[in-house]
Each structure stands twice: as structure tokens, then as C-alpha cells.
């Protein structure tokens, strides 16, 4: 697709339920990121994939959160036993492979986010 | 926990005024990026600064990277209502593949 696509765009779920959020990155992008953002705050890092593997999952808040990217493209963020504090916008971003020294940083492209509300 | 603190958190100014947003960290980054985010959308990259002390200009926006590569500032001259949005700084890791966002500055420019 032309951009990063996230589904659903909005999800309301009851406390204790299981939720899956999907991210379809830009074609050819090898890196994929999940962030969580509260209203008016900066995105909080959750997990970063390089290809199929999680290169850094240090941002996942606890073991109720898990993410997969089995074929190195689409990723799913899974939240078990949801709590009201999980309510936030979950942002996905992707970036292309880098082929040179990375001191300038790559460019990441964000989706519009999935708004999760736990009631 | 976010590595970068932005100030102010909220800013409401009249059209035509100038403003500066600060981004501070105790960590050193290989580069620093600034993003702007509008409601219902993801952040969009404005600029990347790489070298300590570097200054970049984008029309009415001036970005500076601190000499020690730990902090940055964004200065907007003659703010316009279209500048309204959430401004985010992001520190980039030495690998170039990790992006740590600041706490955000919500700017409102009143016509």
C-alpha cells in the first residue's frame, strides 16, 4: 500500500477481554515499530522488529502485551486481559532498509493509529 | 519512561508571535528529529539534525542541535494558525534504527 495501514482504527472493548491490533507496513520496509500514545503526550516505545524478529521489546509494559511479525511484513500487537489503563492510541511505524552509515537516522513513517478504549 | 523532556508542555499564542520549544535529555543521540502531529494522524517528520551545534531552517522554523547532542530547540517565527499541532522531538540511536520520542509540546496559534 501507499502508507502504513492500521486496523481497526477504533476499538472499544470490555475490561478483561483480549484485543489484537494489526499493522500493515509500507511494502519493502524491513523495520516495524509499535508505540503507544496518550492524548497530548509523546509516543512511548513498545517494540521494534527487524524482519521477523523482535530486535528490541524492552518497551512492552508487562507480559499481557505481545507482538508478532511472522513473515516480516504484517505485524499484530496482542493485548491479553485488557485493563482501563491500556486505553490509548497504538501507533505503528515502518522504515526502509538502511544501506549506509546510520548516524543521520532513518526516516520512519507512521500509520494513523488504532484508538483503543477499555471500558 | 521517556528519555527526552520537552518544554513547555502546552503553549497558546497569538498569530504573529514567536516561540521556542525545548527538548532535553541526559542521553547522547546520534541525531535528533522533530515531528509534527495533527489530531487523528501519525507524526510526520519535519527535520533531522545530525551534527552537534547544527542549525537547520525550514521556512519560519529554525531547529538547533545542542553541542553535546543531548538537547535541541525549535523556534517558530511569526506563528500562523496552520502551525497548530503537537510537536515531538525524537532522539535517534547510534544504530539509526531506534527512535525515542519526547513528551510533546501542544501548540495552539490563535488567529
Any residues with CB less than 8 A from the CB of A113 and at least 6 apart, and which? A6, A9, A37, A89, A90, A91, A92, B40, B41, B42
Distance CA B63, CA B68 (A): 15
Read off the pLDDT of residues B36-87 as tens digits, 9 standing for 90 and up.
999 889 999 999 999 899 999 999 999 999 999 899 999 999 999 999 999 9
- At A105 the pLDDT is 58
Chain A residue closest in CA terms to B94: A103
Question: Which residues of chain A are modeled with pLDDT < 70?
Answer: 1, 99-105
- Using an 8 Å CB-CB cutoff, list chain A residues near B41: 110, 112-113
User: By the 8 A CB rule, do A60 and A66 touch?
Assistant: yes
- Per cent of chain B over pLDDT 90 is 80
Of B30, B29, B33, B25, whose CA–CA distance to B7 is shortest? B25
CA–CA distance from A47 to each of A12, A43, A77, A117, B22 (Å)?
23, 12, 9, 21, 26
Residues in chain B: 111
Chain A residue closest in CA terms to B98: A48
Amino acid at each position: 500500500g501507499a502508507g502504513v495501514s492500521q486496523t481497526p482504527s477504533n476499538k472499544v472493548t470490555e475490561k478483561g477481554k483480549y484485543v489484537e491490533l494489526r499493522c500493515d507496513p509500507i511494502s519493502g520496509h524491513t523495520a516495524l515499530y509499535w508505540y503507544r500514545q496518550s492524548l497530548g503526550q509523546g509516543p512511548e516505545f513498545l517494540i521494534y522488529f527487524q524482519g521477523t524478529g523482535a530486535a528490541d521489546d524492552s518497551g512492552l509494559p508487562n507480559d499481557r502485551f505481545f507482538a508478532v511479525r511472522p513473515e516480516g511484513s504484517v505485524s499484530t500487537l496482542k493485548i491479553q486481559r485488557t485493563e482501563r489503563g491500556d486505553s490509548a492510541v497504538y501507533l505503528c511505524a515502518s522504515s526502509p532498509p538502511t544501506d549506509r552509515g546510520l548516524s543521520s537516522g532513518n526516516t520512519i513513517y507512521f500509520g494513523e493509529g488504532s484508538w483503543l478504549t477499555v471500558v | 519512561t521517556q528519555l527526552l523532556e520537552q518544554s513547555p508542555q502546552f503553549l497558546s499564542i497569538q498569530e504573529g508571535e514567536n516561540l521556542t520549544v525545548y527538548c532535553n535529555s541526559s542521553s547522547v543521540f546520534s541525531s535528533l528529529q522533530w515531528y509534527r502531529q495533527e489530531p487523528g494522524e501519525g507524526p510526520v517528520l519535519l527535520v533531522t539534525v545530525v551534527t552537534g551545534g547544527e542549525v537547520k531552517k525550514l521556512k519560519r522554523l529554525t531547529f538547533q542541535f545542542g553541542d553535546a547532542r543531548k538537547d535541541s530547540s525549535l523556534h517558530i517565527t511569526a506563528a500562523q494558525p496552520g502551525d497548530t499541532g503537537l510537536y515531538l522531538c525524537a532522539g535517534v540511536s547510534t544504530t539509526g534504527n531506534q527512535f525515542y520520542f519526547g513528551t510533546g509540546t501542544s501548540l495552539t496559534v490563535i488567529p
